[in-house]
Amino acid sequence: MPNLITWDIDNNILDLSGLDTALQDKLTVPVPSQQTFRIGFYRGASGDTRRYLDLGADPSIEFIVKPSTGNNRFDVAPVVASPVFTRTTVDDLGDYYYEGSMDFAAPVFLKALAANVGFAQEQITIQCLANTLMRLDGQYIDIYYTATDFTRFWFETTGTTVTPPSSGGGTLHKINVANNATASTVATALGDAIDTAFNSSYSVVTDTVTVTFSEWGLKGNHASHGTGFTVVLVTAGSVPETDTDITSVGYNGQLVYLDGTAPQISPLFTLGIVNSLYRDGQTFPAGTASSNYREGSVTLSTTDSATVTFSTALSASTYDIISLEVIYTGAGSPGLKLSPQTIDDKATTGFTVYLNGDATTDYRLDYKVTL
């Protein structure tokens, strides 16, 4: 059982040798991470020191972490405590251990390491208006993908509107909307256009489209200009980074078990929090730009091949197919165990996959390629 802390509650002795990363009395965990710990209680006076006790289904157990001080004492308030530990059966002899998970990506640990690991995919909502009497004709909204570069999504109804200007690094993307189109229709059209341009995902509720960008990182400030749309930043995009060379910090750990009304408090042990993002003299590798990868799904038909067509062409046909998977989507068990066999006709617009047998429409092919 990995990460098992054994606690002799008769003699108040902790044994950390069952921990994956234990070194004598020091426990080292990486940040950011979420670590699962198991505690096995036993009575050292019983003669059988490794028969784990059943303390009940919901005992009061805490794993307290506090900053380490020079005299190895807790002289400040705890910075984090574990969630509830749950009972798990060890074997058919009635032995038990208790399992809980601690989030070492908590802000207090990240701040101690001066590390920013809050990388996230940006999400925005855009509340749209109806195209009443062609009011959106020629209007536009800018969606930024860096601090200065953006795509300008503009609406056309009449077919005679002059294309709006694209200045300061902008790329134009036209959206055709009918006269008097509802706000919901406008929101769907805008979400579909953003999805095409940015390989994002979106959903529409009434007049509001929610867009989640597929890439990590800051997208920038989005502008609704004369559309009258309301753009709200739900989650700001960010990227992982460290801004100091701090590699680790020390904390104290201690277990507390409430035995009836009297607390059992374990000895202190050292908890080393290691900055797993820090790399001496190195930088993070560049990610794959959305323009250089494609992924999606194809519903198979009653043939031994499938044609994959990209939403937009890649710049070259020398891409690598990094994932191909046949998924059975029908009811019951599949009658044929399909698998991809041969790749042919690779082009910038897609490729052909030959299978080991004729499929049915109850099968789906998922693919991912990168250039």
Confidence band, pLDDT 50/70/90 cuts, at residue 26: low
Q: In the chain, what are the domains?
A: 4-107+246-275 (2.60.40), 121-235 (2.60.40), 290-370 (2.60.40)
Other C-beta atoms lying within 10 Å of the C-beta of residue 165: 10
Q: What is the dihedral of CA 177, 296, 291, 219, to 10 degrees?
A: 70
> How far lies 187's CA from each of 38, 129, 194, 236, in Å?
49, 8, 11, 21
Which segment, 56-70, 194-208, 278-292, is predicted with the most confidence on average? 194-208
What's the pLDDT score for residue 33? 79
- For 135-144, 177-186, 252-261, 320-329, which range has the lowest pLDDT when averaged over its residues? 252-261
Task: Tell me the pLDDT tens digit for each residue of 74-104.
Answer: 455 667 777 788 888 877 777 888 988 888 8
Task: Tell me the pLDDT tens digit for each residue of 319-344.
Answer: 999 889 999 998 888 888 899 999 99
What's the pLDDT score for residue 198? 82
pLDDT at 2 over 60: no
Work out the burial of residue 323: count CB atoms within 10 Å of its CB; fewer than 13 is exposed, 13-18 middle, 19 or more buried.
exposed
Two tokens, residue 241: 């980074």
Confidence band, pLDDT 50/70/90 cuts, at residue 145: confident
Task: Tell me the pLDDT tens digit for each residue of 276-311.
Answer: 776 666 554 555 566 788 888 999 999 999 999 998
The residue-averaged pLDDT of 94-116 equals 79
Confidence band, pLDDT 50/70/90 cuts, at residue 1: very low
Tell me what the pLDDT averaged over the chain comes to.
82
Buried b (16+ CB within 10 A) or exposed e, 8-28: bbeeeebbbeebeebeeeebe
pLDDT at 355 over 80: yes
The residue-averaged pLDDT of 265-277 equals 82
